[in-house]
Structure 1
Amino acid sequence: MGFKGNSQDKVSKLTADGNTVMNLISSLTFLLESDSMEFIKIKISTDNHRSIVFKLNTNGSVNIVIDDYRGQYKKEDIKREILISKVTLLIYLEIIPALNKWYSEDKENKLWNKQEYNKFLDELSKDIKEKIDNLKSK
């Protein structure tokens, strides 16, 4: 997952992608200090689609990163236009509705609240610590 936005000072900008220690630390700092996120970049893997990458923009639009797609549609040896159509339909008809459903269910069941937010931050800090510890042992 990645994201892009402005910091509180409206001067600093950050784009992060991946899970290296520096990206995680930068991401955490940015998320905690940011007041205007522009988009969230999501990479999803399924059994038939190893890499589906798209951006959910805060204005409601979706940008599909078609060149990062890896999966069954590439194996079908189809024209680029057909690939774009198939991946677009997959994202709009299956992935986004599933994400929305899960989020709505979690909010309705009070599974996404301050406690869960804190748990998310704890997990993020644990991931950062593990990556730093792995670097130390090398």
Structure 2
Amino acid sequence: MSNTTRWVDTTNVSLEGILSKFLSDIEPKESQEKISYINFSVSKEFEENNFFKFGNKQIEYNIINFSFDSVFPGVLPIEDRTTPTTGVIIVYTLVNKVNYIIDKNTDALMILRLLLGYKNKLEIEKKSSDIHSKLLTWIISRLFKEENELVMTISPEDEKTLTLNSMVGFKGQTDDQISFVSANGDSILNILSTLSFLLESKMLKQIKLRLEFDKHENLEINLKDTQTISANVNKYDGPFDEYSSKPQKMAEIYLLIYLEIMPLLYLEYQKDVENEMWGVKEQKEFLTLVKDKLIAKINEKTQLMDEQ
């Protein structure tokens, strides 16, 4: 999956009811004047629903695989007017609501409505990922100052630690890297990369976070300015590697990111804002700190040159 978005179903239909809707026959939507949608294929990944442990809860979920063809109107041969679409949807229950994680963005709502046969408004609503430049600058400050461990207290006997290891910034949607920052604030490369990140932050289109969480030794998460989230499943190291099913591993990595990791990041950021530990003043102080460290490194180098 890549560039995922999250949605919630407001119809109060059960998980089994929603899965039945996905698997029911979908009539082709054919038109002479508008885009036609034909050749639907929908399947369920698991015969029986799986369960993902979330805190002290069990999240029930399944995976829907789908494909269809979009045909735009015109006089060209149909093969020249046809675009195939394939995708994956993680369907799960949370707080008595059915939720969807789908590997689509701008056309996600249209596809969900199409596959479910919905015709009314507000039957599905977006759950936006609150990714913004202030959050990213806060993350980079935590990395640079080596305050990169965040603790989630579930109960007095149960704590989970989220460790931010590094952050990579990109200008575009490809790997045109412009900065790399790790939890090693005193290296000259780290100082220069941090400064580059801060000065070029408005140009960043995506950032890649490498982190540890609880028993999950390595997770690589891409956050984009399009409010989408993706994970590099191949870079994952942790207990999900024991699964024989790749789709199960993929689904639970995304459930972990959406239900535990991102909420913890947002919570810690918001706490710092509310406790006046992060704001415009602190951002200026952070920029000054980076500048002073860079100047100190330059002065150190010139002093060594003078002594030679």
Q: Secondary structure at the match of 2:171?
A: strand
The structure 2 residue matched to 1:3, chosen from 144, 152, 169, is 169
1:62 and 2:229 aligned:
yes
1:45 and 2:212 aligned:
yes
What letter matches 1:80 in structure 2? K
Distance 1:120 1:56, change over 3 A: same
Q: Tell me the residue number matched to 2:255.
A: 89
Identity percentage over the alignment?
Answer: 28
Q: Residue 191 of structure 2 contacts residue 290 of structure 2 at CA under 8 Å; is this kept in 1?
A: no
Number of residue pairs aligned between Structure 1 and Structure 2: 125
Between Structure 1 and Structure 2, the one with more helix by share is 1
1:104 and 2:270 aligned:
yes
Which runs of 5 or more structure 2 residues have no equivalent in the other structure?
1-166
The structure 1 residue matched to 2:177, chosen from 14, 29, 33, is 14
**In the TM superposition, what is the alpha-carbon distance from 1:5 to its structure 2 partner?**
1.9
Q: Tell me the residue number matched to 2:243.
A: 77
Q: 1:33 & 1:79 partners in 2: Cα distance?
A: 41
Q: 2:191 & 2:229 partners in 1: Cα distance?
A: 24
User: Pairwise mapping of residues 21-40 of structure 1 onto structure 2 (< 5 A)?
Assistant: 21-22=188-189, 24-40=191-207
State which structure, 1 or 2, has the greater radius of gyration over its C-alpha atoms. Answer: 2
What letter matches 1:112 in structure 2? W
Q: Residue 3 of structure 1 contacts residue 15 of structure 1 at CA under 8 Å; is this kept in 2?
A: yes
Q: Residue 5 of structure 1 contacts residue 34 of structure 1 at CA under 8 Å; is this kept in 2?
A: no
Which runs of 5 or more structure 1 residues have no equivalent in the other structure?
7-12
Q: 2:226 & 2:283 partners in 1: Cα distance?
A: 23
1:63-109 CA-to-partner distances (Å, cap 9, x unmatched) read: 111111111111x2322111100100000000011111111222222
Give the alignment's TM-score, normalised by structure 1. 0.72
Give the alignment's TM-score, normalised by structure 2. 0.35
Distance 1:69 1:60, change over 3 A: same
User: Cα RMSD between the aligned structures?
Assistant: 3.0
Distance 1:110 1:29, change over 3 A: same
**In the TM superposition, what is the alpha-carbon distance from 1:55 to its structure 2 partner?**
1.0
What letter matches 1:14 in structure 2? Q
Distance 1:97 1:30, change over 3 A: closer
Q: Tell me the residue number matched to 1:9.
A: none
Q: Residue 179 of structure 2 contacts residue 196 of structure 2 at CA under 8 Å; is this kept in 1?
A: no
Q: 1:79 & 1:40 partners in 2: Cα distance?
A: 29
What letter matches 1:51 in structure 2? N
What letter matches 2:238 in structure 1? G
Q: 1:82 & 1:114 partners in 2: Cα distance?
A: 42
